[in-house]
A and B are shown apart, each in its own frame.
Chain A
Amino acid sequence: AQSVTQLGSHVSVSEGALVLLRCNYSSSVPPYLFWYVQYPNQGLQLLLKYTSAATLVKGINGFEAEFKKSETSFHLTKPSAHMSDAAEYFCAVSGDSGGYNKLIFGAGTRLAVHP
């Protein structure tokens, strides 16, 4: 069965510093991978998705993620953090059916950005 592990439930960075949020997955079939962001009191919004095309995926707000099959990882990065990036971030993998409609979510990483 597919699963997702997000390393670090809380990450704190300074404004302007590199953001690195880690995600490892397990999957018996080629996965589809996603990063979603959740701002306080809101639903989740799609940041980016990997669907077996380019291994480096660019998303909104300057975020990007790299699919590394050998490491079963899909880490999310941003070169320079902004105060508005403070939110909770979720990594997700498509379910056993291989369809997008049964996403398995990680537990989430809360990103804090301080001046």
Chain B
Amino acid sequence: NAGVTQTPKFRILKIGQSMTLQCTQDMNHNYMYWYRQDPGMGLKLIYYSVGAGITDKGEVPNGYNVSRSTTEDFPLRLELAAPSQTSVYFCASSYSPESPLHFGNGTRLTVT
């Protein structure tokens, strides 16, 4: 059972480039989330989804977009990368709002 899988593990982008961070889970969880982790700041929620076709903004959504066409996949899109988006990005999933979050191992993104 792979759990939550994120790709790539590392990426360097130039300012203005775009990319998609991939996230897939094989636990049939309805709830999926994207967080960013900055040093000394904890984790901030970017977007979340309560099921296929349904997404909503979290605390820091500006500069990002998401989609949820299937239960398994929840990609995060950066359209015009900025240095402020340098961070470690974590995808997570849960069976229900009452269930613990299962995290992927993260994507370390640097924008220069």
Contacts and interface: CB of A to CB of B under 8 A. Distances in A.
A4 B44 CA distance: 12
Contacts of A51: 98
A14 interface: no
A49 B100 contact: yes
Given A101-B31, A107-B42, A42 B48 contact: no
Interface string A71-115: 000000000000000000010000000011111011110000000
Interface residues of B, number: 26
B101 A46 contact: yes
A17 B5 CA distance: 36
Q: Does more than half of chain A's interface fall in helix, strand or loop, or is it mixed?
A: loop
Contacts of A106: 42
Given A43-B103, A46-B100, A46-B101, A101 B43 contact: no
Given A101-B33, A102-B58, A41 B48 contact: no
Given A43-B92, A90-B43, A108-B42, A103 B101 contact: yes
A36 B91 CA distance: 15
B97 A101 contact: yes
Interface of B: 4, 31, 33, 35, 40-45, 48, 50, 58, 90, 92, 94, 96-101, 103-106
